[in-house]
Structure 1
Amino acid sequence: MSGVSGVDAGRWSRDDPVVQWLLGGDPAIRWQTLRDLVGAPEDEVRAERARVENEGWGARLLGLQDDSGTWGGTVWKPEDRDATDSVVLLLALLGAEGDRTRAALDRTAAGVDWGEEWGRSAFFDGEVEPCINGRVLTAGAPYGHATETMLGKLLDTQQADGGWNCYAETRDDPGSFHSTVCVVEALAAYRDAGGPTDVDLPLHRGQEYLLERRMMRRRSTGELIDEGWLTAAFPYYWRYDVLRGLDHLRSAGLPYDERAAEAVEVIARQRGADGRWKLDSPLPGRPAVAFETVGEPSRWNTLRALRVLDWAGVQSTP
C-alpha cells in the first residue's frame, strides 16, 4: 500500500497533537477517543460518556424532542434530517446514555408510530424499507428497543447476494451498498445488545457483500461504483462511503481483511499535513443540529479514520 506503513493496531499518547485536538471536542468525541485511541481506564471513559446527554451535541438533540416523542414533528422526512428516525440514530452514534436518554427513547417507543400508511406500526417495529429499518434498529438496540418484529423484517429482506436493497422487487435483485451498510450496522447493534436471535450468519453474509466488492467496486467488472463514496460525510444517515463501511467492520470485531486494503489506502491518503481529515460534502437537507463545517478539519472523520487505520495495522504520513 503506497503512502502507508505497517504498525501495530494500538493506542495513542494523550500528548499527540491530534489526540489533544480530539480531546478538546464534544463529549461524544472525547469518550470515543479515550476508548478507541488512548485506551483509557473504563471508569474514565464511562464518566466522559455520561456527559454526552447533558452537554454539547447530545444535550441539544435531546432538547429538541417534543411531548409526543417525535423530533421534527414526524417519524421521517424525505428532505430534511431533523425527523425522529435521523435523530435517534444520531443519539446512538454519539453514544448518549443515561436516564435522560432512556426516557426520551421510551417516550418515542410509547407514543410514535409510522402512521396509516404502515398500519400504525410502532416506531421500533419499523416499516418495510431495510435502509430505514436498519437505522431504527441501530438506534433502538442500545436502549432496549431492539424488537424481534423489526429484526424479522430485516432478515426476511436479505437478498440472494447477501446484501439488502430498499428498491428490490425480488430476492434475486442485486443488493445496495447504502441499504446493506445500514442493516449490517443494525445486526451488529442487535447482537451486541444481547438480542436473543442468532444473527451471525446474515451479518457475515452482509459483511461479505461489502468485502467481495472491495468496499467500493462492482463484483462483475471491478469498476468503482461511485466516486462520492471516496469522500466521508458525518452524519451519514442512509449514505454509504468507504470510511463508514470500514468503521463498521472494525467496530463489529472483524479482523482486518486484505480485501479492504484499497479502501484503507483511500482513507490514509486523505490525511492532511496537520494530521487531520476534513469534512467532505454533507448530505442535502437541514440537520437537527449542525456538527461541523464542510471543508474544515473534522473531529468525526479524524477519529474514525485513525481507529480504522489502527484496525488495519497501518498509519499514514501527514
Structure 2
Amino acid sequence: MADQRAKDSGIDGPQPEAAPPLEWLLDSDPAIRWQVLRDLTDAPAEAVAAERSRVTTEGWGARLLAARDPDGQWMGGACFPGRGEPPKDGSQPWTSTLPAMMELYDYGLDPTTETAREMTALVTANCRWEYDDLPFFDGEVEPCINGRTVTLGAYFGADVDGIVTRLLADQLDDGGWNCWTEMGATVSSFDSTICVLEGLLEYERATGGSAEVAAARRGGEQYLLERSLFRRRSTGEVPVSEWLAFSFPTRWHYDVLRGLEYFRAADVRDPRLGEAIELVRSKRQPDGTWLLENTHPGAVHFPLEDGDGRPSRWNTLRASRVLGWWDSGR
C-alpha cells in the first residue's frame, strides 16, 4: 500500500542529495537574494537587511510599486482590473491590488518603510471590493480572499480584526474553510484552508492572537494533516494532480510545497508531513534545483521566471528551506 501511494504521488524513492546552488540563487533579484542570505547562508543580519532594503528601490519590487495607479491601487480594482468581473474564459488576471500586494509580501517588502506605509494607507483609503463595495481591509465574503487580506493587513499594519472574526465564524466542522460556503458547501477546500491558515498565522505574529485564533488554526492544520497534505481522507487517493506540481506565485491555489511552507513557518512538526516532505525531496534535480511546474494562467505585470519545466529560483529557495527545517529536527 505504501509503495502504491508513493507511486501515485510521483515519489520514486530516495533521490541523490545536492546542495542548492547558492551562486545561482544569489545571481537574481533582491527579493530572492535577501531571503537566500537569511535562510540558506550564515550572512550577518546587517547584510540581510541591506539586501532587503533594495526590494523597495530595485528589481521586481520597484517595478511593481511603479505600476500603481495615482490613487495607490493596481489596475483600478481589488480583485479584478477596473472593478470588473472574472473573465468569461475562466482565466484570472493577476494585475489588480490583491495579487500585486501579495507579490510584494512574498518579496519581503519591509512594512516599516515609508513606501510600505504609504502604500497601505492609500489602499485603505481608496480600494474597495467588487463584491460588496466594502473597504479593502474590511474584507469580502470568500475565505480564500479574506485569508490573504488578513495576511496583508497583519503584515503591513492595517486593522483586520473584523475579517478575523468573520473567518472564525466561517470555519467548517471538519476544521477547514471553503469559499463556496455561502452556496451551501459543508466540506472544506485545500485552497481556501491554506489561504486562511497563512493569514491567521501572520495575524498571530502581529498581534499575539487569541485562544480562539490559535484553536481555529489548529483545526485547519489538522484538516490538512489528516490528509497527509494531498490525499483524500476517505480513500487515500490524490484528488487534484496539480497539488503535486509546484508553482510560484501560488496565488489562491494550493500545492504541497505551499502547505509545507506554512508548517515550516508555524514550526509544526508532525510525522504526517513525512510523505509530503519526501515528495519535495524527490523533485530535486541532480544540480540541486527545483523546477517551476504549474504557472497559473492569467495576465501579469511581468514574469518572474523563465517558464514551466525550467529551473526556478523561487521554488529552489522555498524547497531548500523546507527541507532544511525538516532535516534539522531529525
TM > 0.5: yes
- Counterpart contact for 1:160–1:172, Cα < 8 Å: no
Give the counterpart letter for 2:311 in structure 1. P
2:298 equivalent to 1:285: yes
* Greater shift in the superposed pair: 298-307 or 106-115: 106-115
1:86-107 Cα offsets, whole Å, 9 max, x none, are 1111111111012112211211
1:188-220 Cα offsets, whole Å, 9 max, x none, are 111111255442111111111111100000111
Give the counterpart letter for 1:152 in structure 2. T
The equivalent of 1:174 in structure 2 is 187
- Name the SS of the counterpart of 2:57 in structure 1: coil
The equivalent of 1:95 in structure 2 is 108
The equivalent of 1:9 in structure 2 is none
**TM-fit CA distance, 1:121:** 1.3
The equivalent of 1:105 in structure 2 is 120
Give unmatched runs, 5+ long, in structure 2.
Answer: 1-10, 81-85, 87-91
* Greater shift in the superposed pair: 182-191 or 99-108: 99-108
2:154 equivalent to 1:141: yes
- Name the SS of the counterpart of 1:303 in structure 2: helix
| RMSD over aligned Cα atoms | 2.0
2:281 equivalent to 1:268: yes
* 1:154–1:265 distance in 2 versus 1, CA, 3 Å: same
The equivalent of 1:43 in structure 2 is 46
- Name the SS of the counterpart of 1:313 in structure 2: helix
- Counterpart contact for 1:160–1:171, Cα < 8 Å: no
Distance in structure 2 (CA, Å) of the matches to 1:95 and 1:67: 23
The equivalent of 2:14 in structure 1 is 3
The equivalent of 1:25 in structure 2 is 28
Give the counterpart letter for 1:131 in structure 2. C
TM superposition score normalised by structure 1 = 0.90
- Counterpart contact for 1:58–1:96, Cα < 8 Å: yes
Q: Return the match for 2:57 from 24, 36, 54.
A: 54
- Name the SS of the counterpart of 1:21 in structure 2: helix
2:307 equivalent to 1:304: no
Give the counterpart letter for 1:307 in structure 2. R
Runs of 4 or more above 4 Å deviation: 169-172
- Counterpart contact for 1:91–1:139, Cα < 8 Å: no
**TM-fit CA distance, 1:109:** 0.8
- Counterpart contact for 1:88–1:136, Cα < 8 Å: no
- Counterpart contact for 2:64–2:100, Cα < 8 Å: yes
Distance in structure 2 (CA, Å) of the matches to 1:279 and 1:4: 18
Give unmatched runs, 5+ long, in structure 1.
Answer: 7-11
The equivalent of 2:227 in structure 1 is 213
Distance in structure 2 (CA, Å) of the matches to 1:265 and 1:19: 22
* Greater shift in the superposed pair: 299-308 or 150-159: 150-159
Q: How many residue pairs are counted as aligned between the two chains? A: 303
Distance in structure 2 (CA, Å) of the matches to 1:163 and 1:86: 23
1:121-179 Cα offsets, whole Å, 9 max, x none, are 11011111000111111122111114111111211111111100001248881110000
Q: Return the match for 2:72 from 69, 74, 90.
A: 69
TM superposition score normalised by structure 2 = 0.87
The equivalent of 2:264 in structure 1 is 250
Give the counterpart letter for 1:105 in structure 2. T
Distance in structure 1 (CA, Å) of the matches to 2:263 and 2:183: 27
